[in-house]
C-alpha cells in the first residue's frame, strides 16, 4: 500500500481521487499550496449503488489526528439530538422519479 500511495503522490494529477477497497473511502492528491508540497488526504464520501461518490466533495481527513477529532464529534450524543431536530424541521428531499419511456410492446 505504501508504494502505491507514494506513486500516486508523485505521479497523480492535482485533485485526482482514487477509490480504495472500502466503499466511500477515497485517496485524494492535493496540489502544492503556499509553499506546502503536494500531499495526500483521505476523503470520506458515501457512494451510490454503482460505487460513485454521492457528493461533489466529501469530508477530507489530512491526518490521523483529524480522524480522532472527527470521531469525538460523531460520538457526541448532542450531535445526534441536533440532527434529529434538523430532520424534523427540514423539508423532506423530493424523490426523483425515474423517467418513463414510451415503449411499444411487441
Domain for residue 60, yes or no? yes
Q: Are 29 and 7 in contact (CB under 8 A)?
A: no
Q: Are 62 and 44 in contact (CB under 8 A)?
A: no
> Above 80 in pLDDT, residue 103?
no
Per the CB < 8 A criterion, the answer to whether 8 and 27 are in contact is: yes
Taking the model in full, what pTM does it have? Answer: 0.72
In a domain, 100, yes or no: no
pLDDT in tens, 62-102: 999 999 999 999 999 999 999 999 988 888 877 766 666 66
In a domain, 23, yes or no: yes
Model pLDDT, residue 99: 65
What range does the domain containing 68 cover?
Answer: 2-89
H-helix segments, 12-105: 64-75, 77-89
Count structural domains, the chain: 1
User: Whole-number mean pLDDT of the chain?
Assistant: 88
Is 72 a domain residue? yes
Amino acid at each position: 500500500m505504501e508504494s502505491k500511495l507514494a506513486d500516486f503522490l508523485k505521479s497523480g494529477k492535482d485533485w485526482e481521487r482514487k477509490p480504495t477497497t472500502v466503499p466511500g473511502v477515497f485517496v485524494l492528491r492535493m496540489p502544492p499550496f503556499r509553499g506546502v508540497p503536494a500531499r495526500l488526504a483521505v476523503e470520506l464520501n458515501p457512494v451510490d449503488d454503482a460505487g460513485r461518490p454521492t457528493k461533489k466533495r466529501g469530508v477530507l481527513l489530512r491526518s490521523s489526528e483529524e480522524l480522532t477529532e472527527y470521531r469525538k464529534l460523531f460520538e457526541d450524543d448532542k450531535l445526534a439530538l441536533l440532527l434529529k431536530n434538523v430532520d424534523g424541521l427540514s423539508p423532506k428531499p423530493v424523490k426523483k422519479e425515474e423517467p418513463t419511456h414510451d415503449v411499444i410492446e411487441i
